[in-house]
Structure 1
Amino acid sequence: MDAPEYTAYFEPIEPPEGDDPSYEYFQPTVAVVSVWSPQIQHGGPPTGLLVRAMENAVDPADGQRFTRVTMEILGAVGLGVNRVRTTIPRPGRQISQVAAELEVRGEDGTYRCAARTTAWRLLASDSSDIEDLPQPPLPKGPDELPQNVGFPESVEIPEAWRHMGFIGTVTAAAQPGRLRGSSAVWLRPNLPLVAGETTSDLAAAFTVIDVANGLGAGLNPVEWSWMNTDTTVHLVRQPTGGWTGIDSKMAAGPDGYAASFADLYDTTGFLGRSAQTALLSAVTAR
């Protein structure tokens, strides 16, 4: 199946009349749509957009690297005008923190904050003599596996989701995972994050990492929903190459909430880990 013909996940626009020009303004395209509802965005594209904003707010020559990024979803990220603004709560030469917020414009013209990110950046230096990674590279890279637009049949997700919305704009390649019978899936977004721009490898990775919550669940959406409220990623190095490997598994507790944990890779090896909190809701109980 071919990817839908969209130009990007977000189109940059001028500030609507009367709105604060200190923000960047974007119009989401239908390529961002969630599997849960056609009225909201999948968590991946807004996460990528906020990471892009944080990258643009810092000096790339200061020697620091993004080491931990937390995305908090404060409400439904809608398809109206989105605007983004960044701050640097903690400047520093060795350690700094950068933050960004995404607001969504409602039908009445007012904005509400729908998502917030914070990231720690640490000064890079040579620690290769003590490098110690918890996992070797995935057995096969994406070029050694069959590739699909959307999720292949070998990935245990609901059939209706395989090409829906944002998922239908991503190229995937799957192999057996290491986490309790999961599939490890290589993912690469097929569209620019923002029209007219080249997406950085860091922003491309964060555009797809939110998918870990769906990949690791192993639940039937006819019976359960498991929408995540956050994504936290710890990196041991910066992603390269545009592909992100996700080996994910959900730990579902007895009290209506769960956590999805994932090992992350790029084509050179282990990259870091992600964790996501999810609210478990029985569909029949609604």
Structure 2
Amino acid sequence: MESCYYVPIDRPDMETPETGPSGVSTDSGHEYFQPTEATQSVWASTMQHGGPPSGLMMRSLLRCDPDPGQRFTRVTTEILGPIGFGVNRIRAQVIRPGRQISLVGTDLEVQQADGSFRLAARSVGWRLRTADTSAIVEEPAPLTPLPAELTPVAGVTGNEDLGVDWGTTGFIGSIESATIAGRTGDTPAVWIRPAIPLVGGEEISDLESIFSVIDIANGMGTRLRTDEWTWMNTDTTVHLTRIPRGPWVGIDADMVQGPEGFGATFGDLYDITGFVGRSAQTVLLSRR
């Protein structure tokens, strides 16, 4: 198993320079990473799973002009095309500054054979100021049993009867999970966390850890068979009601298939202390 999802690297020598009208380079503020085989998708060996890029973009959002008095409350990740294994570069910016509300965005680009970069994914996150509202807390009951009461396994189990061969390589081979009874539909819920760091040489933060695996809700929330259908998501939106704690995230998801070739997956999200928010993903349905 690879030791991390991304290896930080210097700017590639073959990168095509970006210049403005005056011929001056406009490329600044990018970080560069080499994705490892641990990011590989379950849908194709030529592209990354949506989870690690989402975690990498959350890392970028967290490092962009951080404000200790604000917290991320909604993050939307758009997958604009296959996220390949060429050099990945990423850069964030504050789109809407503010003392109470701010909006931060980050772009992830993949290097092509000619040295140029193609925009492959984008995340946008709203940050809101914090305040004490503990007197009015209302939330669903915690998801139980907790990971400490279970025996986590490498990869994911619980979907074997759907024709799913999750395998032990690529992204699925890099995670730990424990499957339990779900609440939102007739599909199981899952406790899940990355078993390796997001970026080599760094300790993964709680938000980075959770955003690296939330994309898997789309795979856990369905009863469709993979040898008959595919259901690829084009986006993931996460609404948080508080900041999650710890590397484990509990996902209780359910996919709704519409009659016109698309649907949506909705998931309730938990950490080991209780409910933390909900996710939603648009799903493209295709018959094999």
TM-score by length of 1: 0.94
State whether residues 35 and 164 of structure 1, in contact with CA within 8 Å, keep that contact through their aligned partners in structure 2: no
> Offset at 1:139?
2.0
Does structure 1 residue 140 correspond to structure 2 residue 145?
A: yes
Give the match for residue 9 of structure 2.
13
Task: In structure 1, give the amino acid aligned to 2:106.
Answer: A
Give the match for residue 241 of structure 1.
246
Residues in 2 aligned to 1:105 and 1:155: alpha-carbon distance in whole angstroms: 36
State whether residues 155 and 215 of structure 1, in contact with CA within 8 Å, keep that contact through their aligned partners in structure 2: no
Task: In structure 2, give the amino acid aligned to 1:148.
Answer: V
1:18-74 per-residue CA deviation (whole Å, 9 max, x = no partner) reads: 55342100000000000000100000000000000010113242x100000000000
Residues in 1 aligned to 2:50 and 2:255: alpha-carbon distance in whole angstroms: 17
Give the match for residue 32 of structure 1.
39
Structure 1: give runs of 5+ residues left out of the alignment. Answer: none
Moved more, 20-29 or 30-39: 20-29
Q: Aligned residue pairs: how many?
A: 277
Matches within 5 A, 1:257-272: 257-272=262-277
> Offset at 1:155?
6.8
Give the match for residue 100 of structure 1.
106
Residues in 2 aligned to 1:170 and 1:161: alpha-carbon distance in whole angstroms: 11
State whether residues 151 and 163 of structure 1, in contact with CA within 8 Å, keep that contact through their aligned partners in structure 2: no
Give the match for residue 49 of structure 1.
56
Residues in 2 aligned to 1:157 and 1:220: alpha-carbon distance in whole angstroms: 4
State whether residues 155 and 174 of structure 1, in contact with CA within 8 Å, keep that contact through their aligned partners in structure 2: no
Structure 2: give runs of 5+ residues left out of the alignment. Answer: 18-26
Give the match for residue 155 of structure 2.
150
State whether residues 158 and 179 of structure 2, in contact with CA within 8 Å, keep that contact through their aligned partners in structure 1: no
TM-score by length of 2: 0.93
Judged with a 3 Å threshold, the aligned counterparts in structure 2 of structure 1 residues 206 and 155 are, in CA distance, closer, same or farther, namely farther
Residues in 2 aligned to 1:138 and 1:218: alpha-carbon distance in whole angstroms: 21
Give the match for residue 185 of structure 2.
180
State whether residues 48 and 206 of structure 1, in contact with CA within 8 Å, keep that contact through their aligned partners in structure 2: yes
State whether residues 157 and 214 of structure 1, in contact with CA within 8 Å, keep that contact through their aligned partners in structure 2: no
Judged with a 3 Å threshold, the aligned counterparts in structure 2 of structure 1 residues 183 and 150 are, in CA distance, closer, same or farther, namely same
Does structure 1 residue 110 correspond to structure 2 residue 116?
A: yes
Structure 1 runs (4+) greater than 3 angstroms displaced: 18-21, 153-159
